[in-house]
Amino acid sequence: MSEQAPRANKELGQHYLKDKSVIEKIVTDFSSEAQAIIEVGPGPATLTRDLAALGLPFYVVERDERFLPLLGEFLKAEQIVHADALAIDWEEFISTREDLRGKKVWLVSNLPYNISAPLTINFVKSGAITFMSLMYQLEVGRKIAPTQGESNTMNSLLALCQTYYQVKSLCKVAPGAFSPPPQVQSVVLSFSRIEAPRFELSQWRELEKFLRLAFSQKRKQLAGVLKASYALPRIKECLEELNLPATVRSEALSLEQIQSLYAKLVLR
């Protein structure tokens, strides 16, 4: 981390990564497969210098204007986008840049923990992002990629992410790997886009709507939750076709089961 870096802004959820072994794992995650790179929230350029050194088309998106001069020391002005990542249409961002369009784009980010879930949703629903290496608070990371053997872990974020990406844990990260250290453990997840997902991205809006309803009261019986938008007899019929009890709760379903229920109940 640069000695000239501004102090971390707590309101923006900033924690500067400083552990060299973690940095090495992140910057080599998809370095041999990616054809272009976007880094979101580079901050003091802890990852940025190594990513830039790969020699691929490279852009950074930074909301905090304090870091722009630092980034400008080794990046061209057109590579630096001063913007809020939550407000960006990533499909448009990539398609309007000739050196990104049609490439296997790798998105890297030490995500601000307070907005990591909505940022992830924005990334996932863009079909133009092939790979991602993203840092999460451990609790959120486990929602997306649960530890093997964990039960009652299904949720809408997991279902959305794993419908469109293969996701695995790259490494766990202790608080001491950051400055200032957060109060929580962290994890880096690797995402590799599924070439032929069960549902096309054109189905995103309906799928997300269904999942948000299904998991809105995940400890209640799923049929009772879904009847707010769908006919109860049809819900029970679909559950029966899937050999699921009428009393099943959404958190107990597998990814395949929740996908199949969506296909039968909504797409039919």
Least confident of 114-118, 144-148, 160-164: 144-148
Q: What is the mean pLDDT of residues 66-71?
A: 93
In DSSP notation, 26-86 reads HHTSSTTT-SEEEEE--TTTTTHHHHHTT-S-EEEEES-GGGHHHHHTTS-GGGEEES-GG
Tell me, what's the pLDDT at 12? 46
Quote the tokens at residue 231.
Answer: 């006919």
Whether the pLDDT of residue 4 is over 60: the answer is no
Tell me, what's the pLDDT at 151? 58
Whether the pLDDT of residue 222 is over 50: the answer is yes
Q: What is the mean pLDDT of the chain?
A: 92
**Which of the two residues, 7 and 254, has the higher pLDDT score?**
254
Q: How far is CA 246 from CA 141, 232, 236, 261, in A?
A: 30, 10, 6, 13
Q: Is the dihedral of CA 130, 262, 142, 111 positive or negative?
A: positive
Whether the pLDDT of residue 257 is over 50: the answer is yes
Ranges of each domain in the chain: 10-193, 201-267
Tell me, what's the pLDDT at 149? 62
Whether the pLDDT of residue 142 is over 50: the answer is yes
- For the chain, helix (H) and strand (E) counts, in that order, are 11, 9
pLDDT interval class at 6 (50, 70, 90): low
The partner residues of 6 in beta bridges, in order of sequence, read: none
- CATH topology classification for 201-267: Helicase, Ruva Protein; domain 3 (1.10.8)
Domain 10-193 CATH assignment equals 3.40.50.150 = yes
Give the 3-state secondary structure of residue 169: strand
Tell me, what's the pLDDT at 7? 59
pLDDT digits (tens, 9 = 90+) for 237-247: 999 999 999 99
Tell me, what's the pLDDT at 14? 57
| Cα 208 from Cα 163, distance rounded (Å) | 11
Whether the pLDDT of residue 2 is over 60: the answer is no
**pTM of the predicted structure, to 2 decimals:** 0.92
**pLDDT exceeding 70 applies to what percent of the chain?**
93
pLDDT interval class at 3 (50, 70, 90): very low
CB 117 within 8 A of CB 95: no
* Tokens 């929740």 belong to residue: 258
In DSSP notation, 174-222 reads -GGGEESPPSS-EEEEEEEE-SS-SS-GGGHHHHHHHHHHHTTTTTSBH
Whether the pLDDT of residue 40 is over 50: the answer is yes
